[in-house]
Structure 1
């Protein structure tokens, strides 16, 4: 008798092991349906798995158990009538054989791009290919897409759209200082015509914590940061193309009044972008990493660097003071250090490196909470080869 019990125990254990290790084991649904997954599709090839609704079909998309603790069960209820899904492209993720009332049939598990529509459906209710209605994303490229863009014409209506191209999330005409940061490039099809779109994050005025995400037509934007500086609070020093561009920002920027006054104190020492980056990264803390660590860059190309740490310390201690108070303090400290007006005017062989972020509304890197940005630094140096 003991041998029989032992044998039965071995058989039960063996059966349990098979059930655990078999990925295609039949799963019973509480509705009386049993689902045996035959194939799971992991391909990112959109055309390969794209289907759209047969609008003449009377079929439904049925509910599915989407994750282990999902209260929704396979074939628990009907979710969507297929004939109502005009303009929706569905992607096959699984193929399964479904058993019910001693009959079986093949079903597809499908979902649209945002998983707004998903569930089990009969293959006969679908037609191979993207939906011919509305806008359809038929190709997308993520990774190595980082780039900055802005509207070609700030006065033209340029929409930032949701992925279905049915809701305009923003109009660039209303954000003349906006920069667009690309995350992906996609191909959209509309009326059988293909167009390139970018998936972007829009920052309204260069530094706002508010980000608007969506798709914009590539034909309506151009590469590079927005140079409509009178409308921009802040532009990262790494965005500028050359010294002329950076000087234009200082001269026209909405929040660069103090910087303009400091530049006037050195009338014969032109602003230099390369030296300004050295000032920002090597002699100030504003451009430190998100962990607060310094992020120095090479000083190659410049000699005889003159810095003003006492002035910098004073500015940080008086960051809430008016521009007039700050400028008066700078002049007084320059005189104290031997840089009188005549001395400064004589420094024609020097370049000026400067970055002034003067009490500008910004945000915390991680939390995105509103804060105030402050960064004060300027230095002088001779370019290599100058006498």
Structure 2
């Protein structure tokens, strides 16, 4: 009995070794095709870049790119290779296909957007990028995140699909838009090369992701930095501003900064300071909390004698829907109660103003993407260390 058990164990071991040596056995398709994958390509590179041989009479057949795909291998002919002018294809898998008594090598190919994909004979392909249309010949992902906007909001600046055949958006129609770059690519067209960015465009600065538009935009038509067309912009994150002058420009011209402008006038000799405003936003308010609601304070280095007007902040949060006139009247009264009368405010010397007013702006929930209203109210005074 022990010998029999030992023999069964040895046999199972050989079966296990065979499974390890052949991790992807041939699988029978519904119509008698057997596919044995010989090699997988995990990256798109020059090694596996091809385009269609337009003289070929071959077809691309349906296939399973991923195990979860419902499409069966060689279930039907999808399209003729001769119709794929301007399409660059990337080999995903190399396989030996057996059908009846014949064997042949096939490639599973897919274009960049997986719009064309399936099994095809290698003889129907030509090595390299397609010489027709706009072709991405070089791309760089990773460490590419940056904010961009149109150089000229009055000119036509298009965001294109990856083949440069369809306009997805015209930035001229979105004067308040910002774009987040995700990749830099080189496009070739008629033997000329141009740099493009793959971007996600947010139409008015605080658009939910479901209303954003992604695509390729010519690098020559955009410039780095956030959109400063503030009269058209409802909201810009305080982290986007470059300096105090930029932030003051936003407050003075922002589409939804009317209340902030009136508050700034109450402190005629205390100019708005971006550094102090960021401290106010992160250390003394909840609007800039992390997605799970936790505060994310920053260093107060560089500022002393910080005065927080918490009574004003508390009242504003309790009366978010009040009119700007009502809010301003109450702010003046609360300032007087705290000893900051109009005469004292006018006599202040060496103090800067830290402020962030997000006043009932239409926004969205950061997690659910549902529409809601944003409110954030904070006001502080502080003295820079160099004063």
TM-score class, shorter: over 0.9
Other-structure match for 1:268? 269
Cα distance in structure 2, aligned partners of 1:11 and 1:337? 88
Pairing 1:38–2:49 present: no
- Structure 1 contact 39–96 (Cα < 8 Å) conserved: yes
Q: Mark the CA change 1:240 to 1:77 in structure 2 (over 3 Å): closer, same or farther.
A: same
Q: Say whether residues 1:368 and 2:369 are aligned partners.
A: yes
The answer for the alignment partner of 2:131 in structure 1 is 132
Asked whether the equivalents of residues 178 and 203 of structure 1 are also in contact (C-alpha less than 8 Å), the reply is yes
Give 1:343-358 correspondences, 5 Å limit. 343-358=344-359
| Residue 306 (structure 2) pairs with residue 279 (structure 1) | no
Equivalent pair of 2:60/2:79 in contact (CA under 8 Å): yes
Q: 1:211 to 1:70 in 2, by over 3 A?
A: closer
Q: Which aligned segments of 4 or more residues in structure 1 are displaced greater than 3 angstroms?
A: 3-17
1:22 aligns with 2:22: yes
Map 1:18-167 onto structure 2 (within 5 A).
18-19=18-19, 21-45=21-45, 47-167=46-166
Determine helix, strand or coil for the equivalent of 1:332. helix
Query: Deviation digits for residues 91-145 of structure 1, max 9, x if unmatched?
Result: 0111112222322111111111111111111111011111111111222211111
CA contact (8 A) 2:196 2:219 kept: yes
Separation in 2, partners of 1:126, 1:385: 69
RMSD of the alignment, in Å?
2.0
Partner Cα separation in structure 2 for residue 72 and residue 315 of structure 1:
58
Query: For each residue in 1:232-289, what CA deviation from the matched residue of structure 2 results, as whole angstroms up to 9, or x when unmatched?
Result: 1011111111111110110011100000000000001111111111111111111111
Sort the Cα spacing of 1:26 and 1:381 in 2 relative to 1 into closer, same or farther, 3 A.
Answer: same
- Quote how far apart the aligned CAs of 1:204 are: 1.1
CA distance in 1: counterparts of 2:66 and 2:149, whole angstroms: 41
| Structure 2 CA distance for aligned equivalents of residues 5 and 103 of structure 1 | 41
Secondary structure of 1:327 counterpart? helix
Aligned to 1:339: 340
Shift of 1:44: 3.7
Superposed CA deviations along residues 140-188 of structure 1, whole A, max 9, x for unmatched, are 2111111101101111100011111111111000111111111111111
Distance 2:365 2:144 in 1: 25
Distance 2:54 2:79 in 1: 12
Scaled by the length of structure 2, what TM-score is found?
A: 0.94
Counterpart position of 2:232: 231
Where in structure 2 are there 5+ consecutive unaligned residues? none
Q: How many residues align?
A: 384
CA separation of 1:299/1:12 partners in 2, compared to 1, >3 Å: closer, same or farther?
A: closer
Q: Which runs of 5+ in 1 are unaligned?
A: none
Aligned to 2:312: 311
Q: Hey, what's the Cα distance between the residues in 2 that align with 1:299 and 1:17?
A: 64
- Stretch deviating more after TM superposition (315-324 or 100-109): 100-109
2:7 and 2:338 map into 1 onto residues whose CA distance is 96
Q: SS at 1:368's partner residue?
A: coil
Counterpart secondary structure, 1:377? strand
What SS does structure 2 have at the residue aligned with 1:43? coil
Q: TM-score, normalised by structure 1?
A: 0.94
Whether contact under 8 Å (1:208, 1:361) holds in the other structure is: no
Q: Determine if contact 1:51/1:91 at 8 Å carries over to the other structure.
A: yes
Matched residues in 2 for 1:151 and 1:198: separation?
12
Cα distance, 1:5 vs structure 2: 12
Superposed displacement of residue 201, structure 1 = 1.2
Say if 1:12 and 1:99 are closer, same or farther in 2 by CA, change over 3 A: farther
- CA offset at residue 17 of structure 1? 6.0
In structure 2, relative to structure 1, the CA distance for the partners of 1:107 and 1:346 (3 Å cut) is same
Deviation for aligned residue 1:222: 0.3
1:173 match: secondary structure? helix
Task: Indicate conservation of the 8 Å contact 1:148/1:181, yes or no.
Answer: yes
Which residue does the alignment assign to 1:195?
Answer: 194
Cα distance, 1:319 vs structure 2:
0.6
